[in-house]
Amino acid sequence: MTNLLDLDCQALAAFFAERGERPFRAKQVSRWVHQRFIDDVTAMTDLGKPLREFLAAGAIIRGPQVIRDTIAADGTRKWLLDAGSGNAVESVYIPEPDRGTLCISSQAGCALDCAFCSTGKQGFNRNLTTGEIIGQLWHANRTLLADGATGPWIRHGRAPITNVVMMGMGEPLANFDNVVPALTSMLDDNAYGLSRRRVTLSTSGIVPMIDRLRDECPVALAVSLHAGNNTLRDRLVPINRKHPLSELMAACLRYLERAPRDFVTFEYVMLAAVNDEPQHARELIDLVRDVPCKFNLIPFNPFPGTEFHTSSRAKIVAFQQRLSDAGLVTTIRKTRGDDIDAACGQLAGQVQDRTKRRLATRIAPAVAH
């Protein structure tokens, strides 16, 4: 059985070409799947009966299995999705007055082991498939529509999710081969039709893969910087030992040659007495001198067992002021969905601390994929 969610538009075209169907069939089917969010292949009423029968025999549309669906007081909504073998990943919907953003996961766990990240502490379980990645977007749109989600853009006929950030669990560039077809579907006019500017991929800085993304599917880029010198970054973001800051900055400049936006977003998690002092701001200002960029300061989200503490609000604001004074546009990330632990870096904690044991006993035996 082929899960149609696993096929991007190119793969879908190949799927139909193999059985002598014309290419526009792929477009028709893609629209049914990714724009009308059906989950029954026989519901594609503009396909001839033989083709529907063929699909019914060999294809399914299977989205993620939801283990838990939580809605926060501010409307933020988090889905815990089964990833098999006792693993789970999360996607988070963040509604704003003018857009709906979905934060998507790319891996169950992560091998890169950043010091302050609870996904990293969980270790690496496996790469999500293309279907599991795009399935998060399919599922969110479908569920929000079914639940009557509101927003001016929805009233104008657009899907509930207008922006995607690959900032959930996992390092997307370490799962390049499955992530790029998912990105392709996000951008394709016969699927989600999002502009490249509305799709942001966040990476901890796998330099050769930043170059491949530039060549194969440039979308808006966010880079998790977290330190302005190699000694500290080696400790916080261990991939820095392989791809140090000078290489990372050069890769950002190369990326900008093809990027849909004319700046890179640098994410910077604020860790008390570790990277939040005036000298750290000065180092950053020096480091990014030649790189068109914006900064997003992320208050650290603590999780059980971590050695780190969140910087005080005053420290974060002072840090922001220093960067702003040097001409760097700097925002402080708003915490959303506080009451449901939906913020950056808290996602894996949910799986490990409360759910994983239950998953292993209750959910895993029922999972077929």
User: Contact between 90 and ligand SAH (CB under 6 A)?
Assistant: no
Residue 176 has, within 13 A of its CA and on its CB side, a CA count of 16
What is the C-alpha R_g of the chain? 21
Residue nearest to ligand SF4 (CB): 120
Binding segment toward ligand SAH, per CB under 6 A, in 48-56, 115-123, 184-192, 252-260: 115-123
User: Contact between 284 and ligand SAH (CB under 6 A)?
Assistant: no
Residue nearest to ligand SAH (CB): 345
- The terminus-to-terminus CA distance of the chain in angstroms comes to 11
The CB-of-185 to ligand SAH minimum distance in angstroms stands at 20
Candidates 30, 65, 76, 119; binder of ligand SF4 (CB under 6 A) is: 119
Return the amino acid letter for 216.
Answer: E
**Which of 21, 90, 171, 267 is the catalytic position?**
90
Binding segment toward ligand SF4, per CB under 6 A, in 31-39, 71-79, 105-113, 177-185: 105-113
Q: Give the closest residue to 166 by CA, choosing from 81, 92, 226, 99.
A: 92
User: Contact between 344 and ligand SAH (CB under 6 A)?
Assistant: yes
Q: Which does 113 bind (CB under 5 to 8 A by kind): ligand SF4, ligand SAH, none?
A: ligand SF4
The CB-of-133 to ligand SF4 minimum distance in angstroms stands at 15
Residues of span 220-259 touching ligand SAH by CB under 6 A: 224
User: Contact between 117 and ligand SF4 (CB under 6 A)?
Assistant: yes
The verdict on whether 9 is a catalytic residue reads no
Structure token digits, residue 28: 């028709």
Give me the 152-181 binding string for ligand SAH, x by CB under 6 A, dash otherwise: ---------------x---x----------
Q: Residues 346, 80: contact at Cβ < 8 Å?
A: no
Candidates 175, 204, 240, 330; binder of ligand SAH (CB under 6 A) is: 204
Q: How far is CA 105 from CA 20, 78, 127, 359, in A?
A: 36, 12, 10, 18
Candidates 300, 319, 350, 355; binder of ligand SAH (CB under 6 A) is: 300
Q: For residues 285 and 64, what is the distance between their CA atoms, to the nearest angstrom?
A: 43
Q: How far is CA 175 from CA 126, 130, 213, in A?
A: 9, 10, 12
Binding segment toward ligand SF4, per CB under 6 A, in 91-99, 110-118, 249-257, 358-366: 110-118
Q: Which helix (H) or strand (E) holds 32?
A: helix 24-34
Q: For residues 335 and 270, what is the distance between their CA atoms, to the nearest angstrom?
A: 13
Q: Residues 238, 224: contact at Cβ < 8 Å?
A: no
Q: Angle formed by the axes of helices 313-325 and 278-287, to 10°?
A: 30
Candidates 114, 201, 249, 252; binder of ligand SF4 (CB under 6 A) is: 114
Q: For residues 369 and 364, what is the distance between their CA atoms, to the nearest angstrom?
A: 10
Number of alpha helices (DSSP H) and beta strands (DSSP E) in the chain: 14, 14
Q: Which is nearer to ligand SF4, 106 or 141 (CB)?
A: 106
| Residues constituting the chain | 369
Q: Which is nearer to ligand SF4, 130 or 175 (CB)?
A: 175
The verdict on whether 277 is a catalytic residue reads no
User: Contact between 171 and ligand SF4 (CB under 6 A)?
Assistant: yes
Region for residue 151 given its phi and psi (left: phi exceeds 0; alpha: psi -120 to 50; beta: otherwise): left
Q: Residues 364, 85: contact at Cβ < 8 Å?
A: yes
Structure token digits, residue 250: 């050069």
Q: Which is nearer to ligand SAH, 114 or 210 (CB)?
A: 114
For ligand SF4, the binding residues (CB under 6 A) are 110, 112-114, 117, 119-120, 170-171, 204, 224
Positions that interact with ligand SAH (CB under 6 A): 114, 116-118, 167, 171, 202-204, 224, 267, 269, 298, 300-301, 344-345
Catalytic amino acids?
90, 344
